[in-house]
Structure 1
């Protein structure tokens, strides 16, 4: 059975050799908030959950108990980076000018993105 969120958070925090106080300060939270998270008396909002996942280099699915695997695959990292790229408001004008014909244009955009990131072989 999957550990509850609070236990996972506590285990990950301890792996980083951080006290609740240090961890709370790092994220700009009260120590009591971390304590309540670890006792499963409160839940973080989506933004904070994502920050925790990024900090510990685990998936939000792992933190939420949807999977027992704490590792993020390279494919998941690449997909997350690509989604951040296409949703970047500063780039919106550039890529949104592509015709709305769908998958082919998205494939072309992904190829460009891979070249920008040095992933093209």
Structure 2
């Protein structure tokens, strides 16, 4: 699950023309936290998954690899 989450965040950053710093500021987490998610070193909380999903306007299920 975490690897799919990391993959989907990377994909969404590219598709939306955003970077890790913009994401971290928008959802009020550190840049290091976003980096750890992307590198699969840290698992996001349920609340953070929802914040990321809202930021990218996708579902949490999509970010978790449960839907396409």
The answer to whether residue 50 in structure 2 is matched with residue 50 in structure 1 is yes
Structure 2: stretches of 5+ with no match in the other structure: none
Instruction: Give the distance between the partners of 2:43 and 2:21, measured in 1 at CA.
Output: 18
Larger radius of gyration between Structure 1 and Structure 2:
1
SS class of match (1:29): coil
Richer in helix (by share): 2
**Shift of residue 60 of structure 1?**
1.1
Q: TM-score, normalised by structure 2?
A: 0.81
Q: Number of aligned pairs?
A: 66
Q: Which runs of 4+ in 1 moved over 2 A?
A: none
RMSD between superposed Cα atoms in Å: 1.5
**Shift of residue 38 of structure 1?**
0.6
The answer to whether residue 10 in structure 2 is matched with residue 10 in structure 1 is yes
Equivalent residue number for residue 19 of structure 2: 19
Higher RCO, Cα 8 Å, sep 6+: 2
Structure 1: stretches of 5+ with no match in the other structure: 70-121
Q: TM-score, normalised by structure 1?
A: 0.49
